Amino acid sequence: MKSGSTPVTSYFLFLLTILSILTGCSSVQHDVTPPLAVPPPPTAIDLRNSSVVKSTLLKHYREWHGTPYRMGGLDRRGIDCSGFTYITFRSKLGYILPRTTDLQAQTRRQVVRNNLRIGDLVFFKTNFYSNHVGIYLGDSEFLHASTSKGVIISSMKKQYWKYCYWTARRIDT
């Protein structure tokens, strides 16, 4: 031990060295590419026109189908559920939504489940800490970015989605 050095100081230097090594070898990749430049919204589509809304959403789905889920993602390399609804409403339907699921769940007017209309946002409590959002397509189906399958269409009749269903919001009012 060097003169003037205490066991406590040596311990903290050792701990600092170990922490530096561990954080320097982190497996977390930091995305340095800029996010997708979301185009300005087009003229808003009348969301009461179910056939136009559904055809617009299905066309958008064909463009994004299979895009993997990535928390915080906003492009075709990966997208999360609220990012998908944010981009869809902004670039295809002409409405600007908040970016996060929690803020989207507070926007506009709440709708009861048996009164859902094509284009409504549907929300699910998937666990104690997180929520999930998708866009209602009619016939108990919704479009969303699934954590396991990427951008897909799912049925709200499936037991999992029935159990997790939380609320819905209508954007055009």
Q: Does residue 30 have an active-site annotation?
A: no
Single out the catalytic residue among 25, 60, 65, 81.
81
| Residue 144 is a catalytic residue | yes
Q: Are 45 and 57 in contact (CB under 8 A)?
A: no
Q: Which residues contact 119 (CB under 8 A, 6 or more apart)?
A: 47, 50, 53, 54, 57, 93, 135, 136, 170, 171, 172
Catalytic residue among 25, 65, 144, 164: 144
Helix (H, G, I), strand (E, B) or coil at 43: coil
- Looking at the chain, how many residues does it have? 173
List residues with catalytic annotation: 81, 132, 144
